[in-house]
């Protein structure tokens, strides 16, 4: 055969030493960073440009990276590892066969552009790009939760296709954060302890306030509202009108908060360590004083969100539609009046959904 499925060690930046599915190209006589077991997902090096698809990462001895940026392949190892965990998560949790449920893998392009502190999914090329960070305080954006976040944009595009603006855009972003975090739990990588903080791994000097988003208390960033604003009551100073108009990475906060409370209940995260602001207690984790809310667990919560996303949400679903979709999903999966159904209703109330 022209290509031989292979397995080789990967020496990543953030995930330690991992095992990668790769392939040997008999024609080129070299190993390629392509995973034939997951839809021929490939990893390319953009060479810090932005115009092309980049150059496929290859290796002579099927040993990838060196745990440091001195080998450009190291970041590619993280991207491939994160993609593998994401693929396996969707398969094992939801029996989903790839992003579009058709077995097709995607391309991940690392070293995108210069000093680029972002990563993004592009549904047109069925590919995602990862920047290297700013070269000082932020490292390449290839942690498990970020890769899972970007790939999940592809899943949303293939299902509810939530429009990337206003409330539907916030739900689109929240869906990526929710599954990004759940993929981090699924991977359970010792070097990236799973939690509801997005992207803390990419900061050169970790600290409680170095993160991209915090699902348990979105307003720790000072921008994302914790609670759904009503026409008369703003949330964290944000009116309903401003909420609908704000960047989707902030209006996602209410749904991220909903998901955290649904899964875990009113619990200050165990890894929210000493040295963090003292004001984070049960009463300010919820919006309506219901500190007795108990979680239904991550598995039930993610099944409800996935079912709502893939069966009930549509491109213009807003928060009210998400509440209805998740309630109906809980009924479908666990029955009307079940603990899970009641928890969905109580948890939307706990984030101030009217
Ligand atoms: N990192 C961002 C995201 O995936 C890029 C963007 O603003 N679309 O949400
Ligand atoms: Zn996103």
Q: For atom 7 of ligand 1, which residue has the closest CA?
A: 120
Give the whole-angstrom CA distance, residue 151 versus residue 43.
Answer: 13
State the DSSP code for 203.
B
Q: What is the pLDDT of residue 275?
A: 61
Q: Which domains does the chain have, with CATH numbers?
A: 3-158 (3.10.170.10), 166-350 (1.10.390.10)
Atom of ligand 1 nearest to the CA of 119: 1
ipTM for the complex shown = 0.95
Among all bound ligands, the one having the nearest atom to the CA of 247 is: 1
200 included as an active-site residue: no
10, two tokens: 């990967």
Query: Considering 249, 257, 307, 341, which one is annotated as catalytic?
Result: 249
Ligand 1 lining (C-beta closer than 6 Å): 118-120, 149-150, 153, 173, 249
Task: Enumerate the β-bridge partners of residue 198.
Answer: 213
Cβ-Cβ contacts under 8 Å for 108 (sequence gap 6 or more)? 41, 42, 43, 44, 76, 79, 80, 83, 127, 128, 129, 130, 147
Helices (H), 1-132: 73-94
**DSSP per-residue string spanning 282-325:** GGGTSSSS-TT-B---HHHHHHHHHHIIIII--TT--HHHHHHH
**Is residue 240 scored above 80 in pLDDT?**
yes
Q: For atom 3 of ligand 1, which residue has the closest CA?
A: 120
150 included as an active-site residue: yes
**Is residue 274 scored above 60 in pLDDT?**
no
Contact 353, 236 (CB under 8 A): no
Name the 3-class secondary structure at 201: helix
Q: Report, as an integer, the average pLDDT of 122-147.
A: 98
Give the whole-angstrom CA distance, residue 6 versus residue 45.
Answer: 21
Where does the pLDDT of residue 273 fall: very low under 50, low under 70, confident under 90, or very high at 90 and above? low
**Is residue 173 scored above 90 in pLDDT?**
yes
| CA 220 to ligand 1 center in whole angstroms | 19
**Is residue 174 scored above 90 in pLDDT?**
yes
- What rounded mean pLDDT belongs to the chain? 97
Atom of ligand 1 nearest to the CA of 249: 9
Query: Considering 32, 111, 149, 150, which one is annotated as catalytic?
Result: 150
Atom of ligand 1 nearest to the CA of 121: 4
Give the predicted TM-score (pTM) of the model. 0.98
């Amino acid at each position: 055969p022209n290509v031989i499925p292979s397995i080789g060690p990967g020496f990543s930046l953030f995930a330690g030493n991992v095992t990668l599915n790769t392939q040997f190209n008999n024609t080129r006589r070299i190993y390629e960073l392509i995973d034939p077991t997951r839809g021929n997902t490939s990893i390319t090096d953009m060479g810090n440009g932005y115009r092309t698809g980049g150059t496929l990462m290859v290796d002579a001895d099927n040993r990838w990276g060196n745990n440091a940026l001195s080998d450009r392949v190291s970041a590619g190892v993280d991207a491939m590892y994160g993609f593998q965990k994401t693929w396996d998560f969707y398969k094992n949790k939801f029996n989903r066969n790839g992003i579009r449920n058709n077995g097709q893998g995607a391309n991940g392009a690392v070293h995108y552009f210069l000093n680029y502190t972002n990563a993004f999914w592009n549904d047109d090329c069925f590919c995602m790009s990862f920047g290297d960070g700013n070269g000082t305080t932020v490292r390449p954006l290839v942690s498990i939760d970020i890769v899972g976040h970007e790939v999940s944009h592809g899943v949303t595009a293939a299902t509810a296709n939530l429009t990337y603006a206003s409330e539907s855009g916030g739900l689109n972003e929240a869906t990526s954060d929710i599954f990004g975090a759940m993929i981090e739990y699924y991977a359970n990588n010792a070097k990236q302890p799973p939690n509801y903080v997005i992207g803390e791994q990419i900061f050169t000097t970790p600290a409680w306030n170095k993160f991209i988003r915090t699902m348990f208390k979105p307003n720790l960033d000072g921008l994302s509202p914790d609670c759904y604003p009503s026409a008369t009551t703003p949330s964290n100073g944000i009116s309903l009108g401003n909420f609908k108009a704000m960047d989707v990475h902030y209006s996602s906060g209410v749904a991220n908060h909903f998901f955290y409370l649904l899964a875990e209940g009113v619990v200050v995260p165990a890894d929210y360590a000493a040295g963090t602001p003292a004001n984070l207690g049960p009463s300010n984790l919820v919006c309506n004083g219901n500190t007795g809310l108990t979680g239904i667990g991550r598995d039930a919560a993610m099944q409800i969100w996935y079912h709502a996303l893939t069966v009930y949400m549509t491109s213009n679903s807003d928060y009210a539609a998400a509440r209805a979709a998740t309630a109906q999903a809980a009924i479908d999966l666990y029955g009307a009046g079940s603990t899970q159904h009641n928890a969905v209703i109580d948890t939307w109330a706990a984030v101030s959904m009217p």
